[in-house]
Amino acid sequence: MSRATYLVTVSGPDRIGVGAELFEALNGLRGEGLHLMDVAQITIRGTLVLCAEVSAEGNVTREDLVTALGERSIEGEGMSVHVELVTPQEEIKGRRLLVTMLAPSISADQLGSVFHAIAQSEATCERIVHLASYPVDCYELIVLGPDHVALREALTDVAKSSGLDLAVQRAGLHRRAKHLVVMDADSTLLQDEVIDLLGAECGCAAEIATITDAAMNGEIDFAESLRRRVALLEGLPESVLDDVRANLRLAPGARTLLRTLQRLGYVPAVVSGGFVEVLAPLLDELDVTHYAANSLEINDGVLTGRVRGEILDRAGKAQALRRFAEEVGVPLEQTVAVGDGANDIDMLSVAGLGIAFNAKALVQEHADTALSVPYLDAVLYFLGISREEIETA
């Protein structure tokens, strides 16, 4: 029995009932051997494009389809219906990838560069979703290609040259199952470095900032840098910790990120090289129950200039992420880590998705993707959560 495939395209000013009319017309030919294979729709600024792929067996012809659609009076008031015979195409082999790109504003030139890289990798884009238009522009593409390594490399080069923040992830339901999101505190969840604020209280801010920068760039060991900086705090009254805590500034979008994660069933966590005495009250206020940080030694209400217990360093952060994942009950590939400094590299490498947030070049090299925008809630877009979902949550 002969078989033909047709693509039925309905386009024009959107109105109520168009979909019902189309599918009623197609259903009328079902008894004669017409089968619905696929459907796609998009509406932009009130303009509808609705496509249906159908397989016709037996005596159903293109003219039969046109007649059945015409009887439903779909056309009119600017709406048009087009029926096209589809010729077989060579199937592109491979698995699907999710490509998420964002920037303050994404231009046609930037999109052109991305699609050129996709084409050069012998891949094709199956779907485009506009996840957000503010405070950043964000698109998510579903891409099918045979060589994922080549595609990742090509897209990474495009991201660097065109100023896009871009992530490439394996497609599938597991992406929405990343239930644990672990972030650094200083210069990630917070705008500030807590140790620098403490340094300002003891009059040694410049010296502490110099050591901090060297540690962030990976020039000196974190544990050693922390000991040096904390030693400069010797003699400060414990009450200074309350003053510093009162002046902490959350990163733009931090509250939105945490609130959205919690309301959608994700678990946020904080792993910090800072100090639990400063962070714990703030995290309790934000309903973050999973956190780890260093602890200052205090005797008789005065800082001794020493750290109490084992220092939570680069390796310790990664270990804390593993511990939280076990407690929450998710595999490591379903975790996300966000950080900005060299101390976060191991944590970013261990997580299923490592995001370098306004980070040094060294850190970006070890992360799966980088965010250069100042909004921490942009992390949600890499989880496929749209701006509409964020506002609803």
Catalytic residue numbers read 184, 186
Distance set, CA 184 to CA 34, 43, 189, 222, 253 (Å): 56, 39, 6, 14, 15
Which of 293, 249, 297, 292 shows the shortest CA–CA distance to 274? Answer: 293
DSSP run (H or E) holding 93: none
Determine the Cα–Cα distance for residues 136 and 260; give it in Å rounded to an integer: 17
Measure the CA–CA gap between 62 and 13, rounded to whole angstroms. 25
Q: How many CB atoms lie within 10 A of CB 157?
A: 12
**Cis status of the peptide bond prior to 135, with omega within 30 of 0:** yes
Q: Which residues of 206-224 are buried (b: 16+ CB within 10 A; e: fewer)?
A: eebbebbeebbebeeebbe
Type of residue numbered 238 = E
> What is the residue whose two structure tokens read 């100023």?
163
Beta-bridge partner residues of 132: 138
